[in-house]
């Protein structure tokens, strides 16, 4: 099913194939999402994430003819950004550390994994919890972190995650379950669950 933004993306792709100026609106539309994703997933500094994102956009432009509307344009650009990030990490052999800003409000979304009914209203405590979530996320292996980030922070559905990671939906579901289990274990180890019920 194609929504309006998807139709607009497809039209912009067709136009950008004729004139690179039309690529600008696509960059502007996806830049914030992809920048956030790269930082959340790989824990890169702002500068590194910008470099990776720029390379990803250049690759997206060079491969525009490969996009044929079989999958969402958003999934396709997430895939290229993801691959570019993985490739950057491999080349730089960077020890990944999640350096998401402490004020990333979506971090709290990952608490859904813990199925906690705790209702955090205090801003200072929210900040502390976000920091703990960030820490737990940083300790997860890459294969678990990427699915958790895509599902709970980027809020992609299973089919979209399958398209981004080029993995079957069943594998995505299995990975997500394992990632949740691992996240819960690390949450307990890092006293995140205790913090929620204080």
Partner 1 sequence: MNNLSKSVLEKIKKAGLRPRPKWQFVAWRVLFWIIFILSVFVGGGAFGMIFHQLFGTEWGFMHKGMISPFYGVMLILPYICWFSVLGVMVAISFKTFSQTKKGYKYRPLLVIGISVFLSFLLGLFVYQMQLSHGMHEQMKGFGPYAKFNQKHDAMWVAPENGVLMGEILEISETSFSLKDMNGENWTIHFTDEDLGVEPGDRAFIMGEESAQSEFVATEIKVRGDRFERKFGPRS
Residue ranges that bind partner 1, judged by CB under 8 A: 16-17, 20-21, 23-24, 27-28, 31, 50, 53-54, 57-58, 61-66, 70, 162, 166-171
**Closer residue to partner 1, CB minimum distance, 58 or 127:** 58
**Closer residue to partner 1, CB minimum distance, 17 or 120:** 17
Q: What is the 3-state secondary structure (H, E, C) of 18-87?
A: HCHHHHHHHHHHHHHHHHHHHHHHHCCCHHHHHHHHHHHHHHHHHCHHHCCCCCCHHHHHHHHHHHHHHH
| Helix (H/G/I), strand (E/B), else coil: 96 | coil
For the CB of residue 151, give the shortest distance to partner 1 in the complex, in Å.
Answer: 18
The whole-angstrom separation of Cα 26 and Cα 16 is 9
**Closer residue to partner 1, CB minimum distance, 64 or 195:** 64
For the CB of residue 93, give the shortest distance to partner 1 in the complex, in Å.
Answer: 25
**Closer residue to partner 1, CB minimum distance, 28 or 115:** 28
For the CB of residue 165, give the shortest distance to partner 1 in the complex, in Å.
Answer: 8
Residue 86, exposed/middle/buried by CB under 10 A (0-12, 13-18, 19+)? middle
């Amino acid at each position: 099913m194609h929504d309006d933004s998807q139709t607009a993306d497809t039209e912009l792709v067709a136009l950008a194939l004729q004139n690179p100026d039309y690529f600008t609106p696509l960059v502007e539309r996806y830049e914030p999402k992809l920048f956030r994703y790269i930082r959340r997933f790989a824990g890169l500094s702002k500068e590194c994430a910008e470099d990776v994102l720029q390379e990803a956009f250049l690759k997206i432009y060079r491969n525009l003819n490969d996009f044929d509307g079989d999958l969402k344009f958003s999934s396709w650009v997430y895939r290229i950004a993801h691959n570019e990030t993985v490739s950057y990490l491999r080349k730089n052999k960077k020890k990944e550390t999640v350096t998401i800003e402490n004020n990333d409000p979506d971090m709290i979304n990952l608490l859904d994994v813990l199925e906690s009914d705790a209702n955090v209203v205090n801003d200072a405590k929210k900040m502390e919890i976000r920091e703990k979530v960030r820490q737990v996320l940083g300790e997860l292996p890459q294969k678990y972190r990427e699915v958790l980030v895509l599902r709970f922070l980027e809020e992609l559905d299973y089919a979209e995650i399958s398209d981004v990671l080029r993995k079957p939906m069943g594998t995505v579901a299995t990975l997500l379950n394992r990632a949740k289990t691992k996240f819960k274990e690390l949450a307990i180890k890092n006293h995140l669950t205790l913090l929620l019920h204080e």
